[in-house]
């Protein structure tokens, strides 16, 4: 078994976090997200729902900086085609703020985030 630091699926998710932190949406499009990716955002807010395709997802990520949303990975683990990441997410916009820990499940296919 490869050490986790050498797992290509973990490396992909780590590259995603770097691109996200740098607001590099083109890197996400060209190197990280599958063209037909699906992203599910839970909750009852304007950004919640299922996003389908790289264009919808990049529009979602393009909207997050307006809320000053930031994320910091805590734990990333992989098994087969799946990666689980636990990260802290926080934002402040006007009088509203958010600071929680999230658990995300990624499905990787052909070297890209598929879901």
For the segment 12-61, what is each residue's pLDDT rounded down to a tens digit? 999 998 998 898 999 999 999 999 999 998 887 777 889 999 999 999 88
Residues 113/35, Cβ–Cβ less than 8 Å: no
Burial call 45-76: b when 16+ CB within 10 Å, e when fewer: eeeeeebeebeebbeebeebeebebbbeeeeb
Percent above pLDDT 90 for the chain: 57
What tokens were used for 71? 């994320």
Helix (H, G, I), strand (E, B) or coil at 67: helix
Q: Which two tokens stand for residue 112?
A: 């890209």
- Positive or negative, the CA dihedral 73, 55, 9, 27 is negative
- The model carries a pTM of 0.83
* pLDDT, tens digit, 9 for 90 and up, residues 71-90: 888 999 999 999 999 989 88
Name residue, tokens 């729902």.
Answer: 49
């Amino acid at each position: 078994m490869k050490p986790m630091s050498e797992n290509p699926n973990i490396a992909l998710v780590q590259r995603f976090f770097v691109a996200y932190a740098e607001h590099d949406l083109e890197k996400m499009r060209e190197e990280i997200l599958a063209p037909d990716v699906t992203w599910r955002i839970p909750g009852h807010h304007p950004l919640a729902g299922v996003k389908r395709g790289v264009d919808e997802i990049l529009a979602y990520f393009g909207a997050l900086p307006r809320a000053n949303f930031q994320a910091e990975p805590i734990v990333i683990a992989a098994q087969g085609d799946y990666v689980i990441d636990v990260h802290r997410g926080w934002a402040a916009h006007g009088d509203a703020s958010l600071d929680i820990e999230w658990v995300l499940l990624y499905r990787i296919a052909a070297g890209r985030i598929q879901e």
